[in-house]
Amino acid sequence: MTLSFPNPSRSLDETRNAVRFIGHDGMFEVRFFVEAEALMIADAELGRSIYEVARKVYSSGRRDSYTLTAADFR
C-alpha cells in the first residue's frame, strides 16, 4: 500500500512540543509528529514538503509513529 494523508486535521502535542498528524497505509493508521524546530524552517513549500518527508521517513522502516525533526527537512 501507499502512504496517504486523507485527513488534513492537525493537533498540537504540548508534551512533545510538536504538531501531530495521521497518515494511512491501507487500513493501518500511522502517527506523525513534526517538532516545533522543524516548523520554524522558513520555506514557502514546507506545507507540501511535510508529506514528502513523512513518506521518505516511513519508507525507511515501518513503525506506528514517527517524529520528524529539522534534520529530516535538510
Q: Which residue has the cell 520528524?
A: 68
Write out the residue range of the structural domain in which residue 22 sits.
3-73
What CATH number should be reported for the domain holding residue 64? 3.30.160
pLDDT in tens, 25-70: 999 999 999 998 888 775 656 667 889 999 999 998 889 899 999 8
**Tally of structural domains, the chain:** 1
- The arithmetic mean of pLDDT across residues 3-32, rounded, is 94
N- to C-terminal Cα distance for the chain? 27
- The arithmetic mean of pLDDT across residues 5-23, rounded, is 94
